[in-house]
Amino acid sequence: MHKNILICIILALLSPLVGGAEELSNGDLFQGACAGCHGADGAGRAQEDSALEVLPPDFSDCEFASREPDADWYAIIHDGGPVRGFDRTMPAFGDALSREEAYKILAHVRTLCVDERWPRGEFNLPRPLFTEKAFPEDETVFTASKDTGDSNTFELEFLYEKRLGPVGMFEVSVPLATTDTLSGSQSGIGDIAVGYKHTIYHDLDRGNILSVGAEVILPTGDENKSLGKGTAVLEPFIVFGKILPANMFFQAHAFAEFPVKDGFDDELGVRMALGKTWTSGGEFGRAWSPMLEVLAIRDLTSGADTKVDLVPQFQVSLNTRQHILFNIGARLPVTQTADRDAQIVAYVLWDWFDGGFFDGW
């Protein structure tokens, strides 16, 4: 055969593979690789008649889709459902799709939720021990704190956060405390707080999210047993989160406390956290997020001292789905150290929208 004809035939055979693949749009890629199970419209649930035992989710449902960060979805596309504790009917595409193609498909999937009010899951940054997150979240957090030194002071806090629509969140916290008093150690319920948080701005390209809110701390704890403050307190706050390069992040939280009763000073506080997330066991493995928090609070009276604490800590995901998280750290006073002990603080966080406590291990 003539050499030129042979080259022509080879080129003709290769062209649909080489030339054609480059021209495939994000939507075409989705139709080719995913629509068979997820439905042409990505709504998944329309597949109810199919042979799939586990139904694919509805990517057009913003309440579900907006909370999942691209990195988690990429992990699932590459390694299959089980990498995040989902069913193995969600296949692993491995190298069948390049990273670029997978992200093109994700770009298409992201067009299916059309309500842009929902902040993206990328903003659900690792939760510091004290700094409030800006992201409105459905989660339950159990926090334990224990004073070091001679005192027996111990506190358990139960925090419940419930999302209200795209940008709202309701929260309630119930502390149970044991304190040292002159008449011995006392235990009981502390001051219960209820609050509301509202995201007023978020921009994924810039990596910024900003929320405002207010909390009412109720005098439910017995002040004679040092379990409560003895007055209701109104606490407006503002919280900011920033996604930084190289999996780093910064979070800030400023608040004021206005006690309702006379005889208590108003207070002003700032909390900040800087951290970075690493994974162990490969790109999609367990997430480790060491953080350093700085806490500062002072009375709003002239000449008052500022109490400053440093809180080194790390958060780690406990299960495969990564919706059960553990964090432990030490609260170390750096000013006014005479009457303030260091504390060990730890929490277990359950992001319950992502599944039951025992799902996805």
Q: Can you tell me which of 57, 188, 207, 290 binds ligand HEC, judged by CB under 6 A?
A: 57
Cα–Cα distance measured from residue 161 to residue 134, given in angstroms and rounded to the nearest whole number: 12
Nearest approach in angstroms of CB 283 to ligand HEC is: 16
In this structure, what are the phi and psi dihedrals at residue 36, rounded to the nearest 5 degrees? -50, -40
Q: Can you tell me which of 81, 166, 207, 333 binds ligand HEC, judged by CB under 6 A?
A: 81
Q: Is 62 in the site for ligand HEC (CB under 6 A)?
A: no
The answer to whether 161 touches 169, Cβ cutoff 8 Å, is: yes
**Span of 30-38, 126-134, 145-153, 172-180 interacting with ligand HEC by CB under 6 A:** 30-38
Nearest approach in angstroms of CB 85 to ligand HEC is: 8
Q: Is 96 in the site for ligand HEC (CB under 6 A)?
A: no
**Span of 28-36, 204-212, 276-284, 296-304 interacting with ligand HEC by CB under 6 A:** 28-36
What is the chain's length? 361
Q: Can you tell me which of 58, 60, 78, 86 binds ligand HEC, judged by CB under 6 A?
A: 86
Q: Tokens 């606490």 — which residue?
A: 235
Q: Where are the alpha helices (DSSP H) in the chain?
A: 3-23, 26-33, 35-38, 62-65, 70-79, 99-110
Q: To 10 degrees, what angle do helices 70-79 and 99-110 make?
A: 130
Q: Can you tell me which of 19, 20, 36, 312 binds ligand HEC, judged by CB under 6 A?
A: 36
**DSSP state letter for 130:** S
For residue 132, give the nearest of 254, 12, 28 by alpha carbon.
Answer: 254
Q: Tokens 């109810």 — which residue?
A: 48
**Span of 83-91, 162-170, 195-203, 253-261 interacting with ligand HEC by CB under 6 A:** 83-91
Identify which of residues 108 and 271 has a Cβ nearer to ligand HEC in the complex.
108
Residues lying near ligand HEC in the complex (CB under 6 A) are found at 33-34, 36-38, 52, 54, 56-57, 68, 73, 76-77, 81, 86-87, 89-91, 93, 105, 109
